[in-house]
Structure 1
Amino acid sequence: MKQPDHIIPRDQHTVSRKDISDSALKVLYRLNKAGYDAFLVGGGVRDILLGLNPKDFDITTNATPEQIRALFRNSRIIGRRFKLVHIMFGREVIEVATFRAHCDSNIQQAKDGMILRDNVYGTIEEDAERRDFTINALYYNVRDFSVHDYCNGLTDLRKRQLRMIGDPETRYKEDPVRMLRAVRLATKLGLTIEEKTLEPISRLAHLLEQIPAARLFEEYRKMFLAGKGEAMFEALQTHGLLSKLFPATEQLLAAHPDFESFIQAALENTDKRIASDNTVNPAFLIAVFLWQPLLERAHQLETKGHSYNDAFFKSMGLTLAEQSQFISIPKRYSLVIRDIWAQQIRLPQRHGKKVWSVLNHPRFRAAYDFLVLRAESDPSLREIADWWTKFQDADKAEQQAMLPKNRRRKVKRRRKPKNKD
């Protein structure tokens, strides 16, 4: 019996169980055993077909969140806009969603079309049509090892093309974050954004102003901490999206070429660290992006009579508060940013006890890296950066020899009071 056209048998695709995490397979098998339909879906299938190693494995099923929760003690139901189940296997989390239905009167939407709440369940065919891009609407069935393709996602993968399912403008209005996802996926996977999918992005960029700042922080992490930060920054500029995420940064780029060079150097450095499996703190790039806005604000306060140090330290809080209106910065990261910035004033002061307090500061390495990157676009800082490069690796004797010699102050002798007769 011939299979439907949307079902691709095992011998006609490259998805294999050996490329899927054991935890995801356990979830698929248990749902199937309990009588439910369950499929690996989205990025996990897409990346395997592209020859990549997926980091996340999402599953979709006809079981409701409550039914999934009953099967897995190591799970929890999350989400209000659309309920999901997170199943925990140590540090690995497998996200399971119930098939979504078409938009109807039961789905709560804002006047502009943005979906506010969506807990209406449907069939796998409806679920495919509700997904964002065709290449994310590919389903792997562990029962017969087939791939289900309802939206010609495989064709788009072969074309190296990113195409929206449905009318792009409507889909972006439903969830403006899809514009960021489009640019991020195209950049990450080296795809071309299909013309109709691309056209509304610059025009609808203002819709991102409606998105909670906390959600955009998570999008920031996905965009800049995945190893394609330099290309991502350029793409956001090209499509008019950077100004909705980091408006103060975007505003100052044209007027300060050295600032743009500093950002490019930091992004290139971050991408290299990620490629080498080194850790990257999300705070570091935000500190870079907001450096020139910080300096500009400090200069404004100086002109109003504040001392340089007072203006600089007061501007830290003002700059972070302003940025948090667009992308919220959790306190644990804002404290790191403040430390990195504060050390930029202390690093040039290479005298006595100050040197040791700077060297032993928990954020010294991040602050030093920040200084080195600044020096790449500002030659006046090279001597200081080179000094700290040598100083931190020197032994105690060499370090002592490198410290500037303190000039001995002449002790003024107290004059003896004249004897009064």
Structure 2
Amino acid sequence: MFKGFTRLLHSPGEHLKSLLDSPESAADALSPRIIPRSEHPVSRQQISEAALKVLYRLNGAGFDAFLVGGCIRDALLGKMPKDFDVATNATPEQVRDLFRNSRLIGRRFRIVHVRFGREVIEVTTFRGKPQDEHGDHIAQQSDDGLLLRDNVWGNIEEDALRRDFTVNALYYNIADFTIHDFANGARDIESRTLRLIGDPVTRYREDPVRMLRAVRFAAKLDFTIEPATEEPMYDLAPLLLQIPPARLFDEVLKLFMSGHGLITFRLLSHYNLFGMLFPEAEEAMADAAWAEDLIEQALTNTDKRIAEGRPVTPAFLLAAFLWAPVAHRQAELEREGMPAIPALQTAAQQVVTRQLQHISIPKRFGMPMRDIWELQARLPLRRGKRAFQTREHPRFRAAYDLLLLREQAGEIPRGLGDWWNAFQQGDEHEQLRLLQKVGSDPASQGDRRRKKRRKPRKTEQ
């Protein structure tokens, strides 16, 4: 990999086994493996100017300052780091006093965001063991072990053990440019292994979102989740129901909007996690094979767009994830005698109401999602001015893309998507020909507006 680093990776020592078996007792005796600058590839040229300003100002004020987590992991993997997180022994209030361009956020975890234009550097204070009390701060846990509030300050050794995965417990010291490896994360990077620090059941109970993070990192980094880390996930998946829907929405964005959505979806399904996020979508997949095909194709297309640098929106993915439940409920309502359009609108409302119990959907995505659904009922209606009106709708393109996915997945017959493709690309004469073809198609007679029947005149006797 690079000079001296591989040699260090293959001499892991005994301290990781100790901390995994008994993280509480290991914290006091934990000593890091120090990787000198000459034996690792992380360079200040890879670190953003904003992150360097934070590190140097903290260091200049007499505080310890380390880059930590994903940025160091990615640099060791040969990737260019994007997000820079700083860990320090300065308290959030001390950090805020040093940076006028900062603000305290969070209640469960109090952290500081230091803003430089559009870039935000996240600064966290070293955390201690959750059962310890330091000053006025103490961790709060539920009866199930969920950490409700965790503002317990500690030292760097304790902070390392509080990190989730070994590959994220790597600290880059701005004072001497060394990397402090507390949990043999460098070794696991070399073997491309994702391993939790501490007892997996305890760590998942403290924060069930760690199961989602395990899947996300495995998909993003092409890592293997080691057996002890993955085994509890199958049974502990329902713990995600304890997590606030707003937080899970943020996690869903990270899971599916990073360019690895398809493999992420398959891993979530494998570990029984997808149904905790989208229960009605999972139920629909069990009832109709096309439902899963539609989701997978939507994710494939989204991954491709992200790889090409093209824009993507969560509204479209959410519309694809939840379309099968909407279609299923709509069909049930129509069988009960409700007209198609009201049935679709009612079904959409029912699906969204249930979904919001699991994942919140902001209006900026929820409203476009509903538009995409409602356009599915308008796309077959093409007579007169309707085709032109539908084409001018702001969500037309997304609705058209969903229509194509529905055809590809086998929910509906092919043909309508080809018509709309030709209509978009055709000139005025071609569009007129296509509209005339719709008018002569017996299969489209349902598109004709019904004429009001006149009541027969009464005749005098």
- Do both proteins adopt the same fold according to a TM-score greater than 0.5, normalized to the shorter chain? yes
SS at match of 1:404: helix
Residues 227 and 270 in structure 1, CA contact (< 8 A), matched pair in contact too: yes
Residues 58 and 94 in structure 1, CA contact (< 8 A), matched pair in contact too: yes
1:379 shift after superposition: 8.1
Residues 95 and 112 in structure 2, CA contact (< 8 A), matched pair in contact too: yes
Residues 38 and 61 in structure 1, CA contact (< 8 A), matched pair in contact too: yes
Matched, 1:267 2:299: yes
1:29 shift after superposition: 1.2
Could you say which residue in structure 2 is the equivalent of 1:418?
Answer: none
Pairing partner for 1:92 from 113, 119, 123:
119
Matched, 1:34 2:61: yes
Deviates more, 1:118-127 or 1:400-409: 400-409
Residues 61 and 99 in structure 1, CA contact (< 8 A), matched pair in contact too: yes
CA distance in 1, matches of 2:362, 2:184: 40
Matched, 1:52 2:84: no
Could you say which residue in structure 2 is the equivalent of 1:413?
Answer: none
CA distance in 1, matches of 2:358, 2:259: 23
Which one-letter code corresponds to 1:195 in the other structure?
Answer: P
Matched, 1:330 2:362: yes
CA distance in 2, matches of 1:87, 1:177: 25
Matched, 1:182 2:214: yes
SS at match of 2:415: helix
Residues 350 and 404 in structure 1, CA contact (< 8 A), matched pair in contact too: no
Which one-letter code corresponds to 1:269 in the other structure?
Answer: N
CA distance in 1, matches of 2:431, 2:264: 41
Pairing partner for 1:113 from 137, 142, 145:
145
CA distance in 2, matches of 1:5, 1:226: 32
Could you say which residue in structure 1 is the equivalent of 2:23?
Answer: none
Which one-letter code corresponds to 1:52 in the other structure?
Answer: K
Residues 406 and 412 in structure 2, CA contact (< 8 A), matched pair in contact too: no
Could you say which residue in structure 1 is the equivalent of 2:387?
Answer: 355
Residues 245 and 326 in structure 1, CA contact (< 8 A), matched pair in contact too: yes
Deviations 1:373-406 (A, max 9, x none): 2121238543211111121122334323332276
CA distance in 1, matches of 2:335, 2:422: 37
Which one-letter code corresponds to 2:221 in the other structure?
Answer: L
SS at match of 1:292: helix
- For structure 1, the residue ranges without an aligned partner over 5 or more in a row are 410-421
Residues 140 and 147 in structure 1, CA contact (< 8 A), matched pair in contact too: yes
Which one-letter code corresponds to 1:10 in the other structure?
Answer: R
Could you say which residue in structure 1 is the equivalent of 2:170?
Answer: 138
Matches within 5 A, 1:237-386: 237-378=269-410, 380-386=412-418
Q: CA distance change for structure 1 residues 114 and 253 in 2, over 3 Å: closer, same or farther?
A: same
Could you say which residue in structure 1 is the equivalent of 2:45?
Answer: 18
Could you say which residue in structure 1 is the equivalent of 2:3?
Answer: none
Residues 67 and 86 in structure 2, CA contact (< 8 A), matched pair in contact too: yes
SS at match of 2:414: helix
Could you say which residue in structure 2 is the equivalent of 1:129?
Answer: 161
TM-score between both structures, scaled by the size of structure 1:
0.93
1:102 shift after superposition: 1.2
Identity across matched positions, percent: 56
Deviations 1:219-248 (A, max 9, x none): 100000011110011101111111111111
Could you say which residue in structure 2 is the equivalent of 1:152?
Answer: 184
Deviations 1:180-236 (A, max 9, x none): 111111111111111111111111111111000111111100000011110011101
CA distance in 2, matches of 1:366, 1:92: 30
Residues 227 and 274 in structure 1, CA contact (< 8 A), matched pair in contact too: yes
Residues 217 and 329 in structure 1, CA contact (< 8 A), matched pair in contact too: yes
CA distance in 1, matches of 2:295, 2:109: 37
Deviations 1:148-198 (A, max 9, x none): 101111011111101111111001000011011111111111111111111
Residues 258 and 378 in structure 1, CA contact (< 8 A), matched pair in contact too: yes
SS at match of 1:290: helix
CA distance in 1, matches of 2:409, 2:69: 41
Structure 1 moving runs of 4+ over 6 Å: 405-409
Deviations 1:294-332 (A, max 9, x none): 011112212222112211111111111111111111111
Could you say which residue in structure 2 is the equivalent of 1:165?
Answer: 197
Matched, 1:210 2:242: yes
Residues 404 and 417 in structure 2, CA contact (< 8 A), matched pair in contact too: yes
TM-score between both structures, scaled by the size of structure 2:
0.85
Residues 290 and 411 in structure 2, CA contact (< 8 A), matched pair in contact too: no
SS at match of 1:164: coil
1:368 shift after superposition: 1.1
Residues 6 and 149 in structure 1, CA contact (< 8 A), matched pair in contact too: yes
CA distance in 1, matches of 2:411, 2:67: 52
- For structure 2, the residue ranges without an aligned partner over 5 or more in a row are 1-30, 133-137, 441-447, 450-461
Aligned residues: 406
Could you say which residue in structure 2 is the equivalent of 1:83?
Answer: 110
CA distance in 2, matches of 1:353, 1:195: 60
Deviations 1:333-379 (A, max 9, x none): 11011100011111111111111111111111111111112121238
Residues 170 and 179 in structure 2, CA contact (< 8 A), matched pair in contact too: yes
